[in-house]
Amino acid sequence: MSLTSPPHARLQTHANGATPKPKPPGWWLGRFQPTHAPTQAPYPIALSSFCVFTFVTLDILVCITCYFTQQEVTARVFMPLFECPSKRCNVNRAKGNLILQLRASKFLKFQEAKLQELSEHVPKGHIPRTMTVHFRGELTRKVSPGDVVELSGIFLPIPYTGFRAMRAGLVADTYLEAMSISHFKKKYEE
């Protein structure tokens, strides 16, 4: 068996000696072929921005029996632990009481805002679309009502919970998790 490849499978070289970058076959790209967004996108105006809240990202709880435990918070709403889940407390069958340590816990700033299309970008007789945007960390307090902004971020769902989930026709609502903000006008009148 020969280890040499057939002539048609060898890499072709250009006159300058560089080899061309191989292209993936067309069937491999399929429906994931990249497309470009339009160059002129409509910019939204900020309708309302709510006050800044704090989110708990790491909850430090100290157990009276085994002295330490932590709870990582990944959801938007969480319930703190009341009994220690450590192996030491389970083996001793002790219900260790947990004390919340606020100084050791980690908090993150959070703000929610509503954005709407400008009236110039809405076709005649149509209603402007609105969107909820979430700002975290240093992006909070950057948008105030009346600002014309351009946002980039991640479009994510929020599942309905509680009674709203039972009577809602949809499974989730959507929002934009903002990653960067650029201002065009600080107030709409300007």
| Residues 144 and 71 occupy one common structural domain | no
Q: Is the pLDDT of residue 45 over 70?
A: yes
* Cα 128 to Cα 146: distance, rounded to the nearest angstrom: 15
Determine the structural domain holding residue 153 and report its residue range.
44-54+108-185
Q: What pLDDT sits at residue 97?
A: 80
| Residues 141 and 177 occupy one common structural domain | yes
Mean pLDDT of the chain: 76
* Cα 153 to Cα 76: distance, rounded to the nearest angstrom: 18
| Residues 134 and 151 occupy one common structural domain | yes
Higher pLDDT, 124 or 188: 124
Q: Is the pLDDT of residue 9 over 80?
A: no
Q: Which residues pair with 13 in a beta bridge?
A: none
Q: Residue 89: in which H helix or E strand, if any?
A: helix 87-91
Tell me which of 22-36, 46-60, 70-84, 171-185 is least confident: 22-36
| Residues 61 and 94 occupy one common structural domain | yes
- Spell out the residues 6+ positions from residue 135 whose beta carbon is closer than 8 angstroms to its own: 110, 111, 112, 113, 142, 143, 178, 181
| Residues 50 and 74 occupy one common structural domain | no
Q: Domain count for the chain, please give it.
A: 2
| Residues 63 and 134 occupy one common structural domain | no
| Residues 103 and 49 occupy one common structural domain | no
Q: pLDDT tens, 62-113?
A: 888 887 777 888 877 778 888 888 888 878 887 778 888 888 888 899 999 9
| Residues 76 and 125 occupy one common structural domain | no
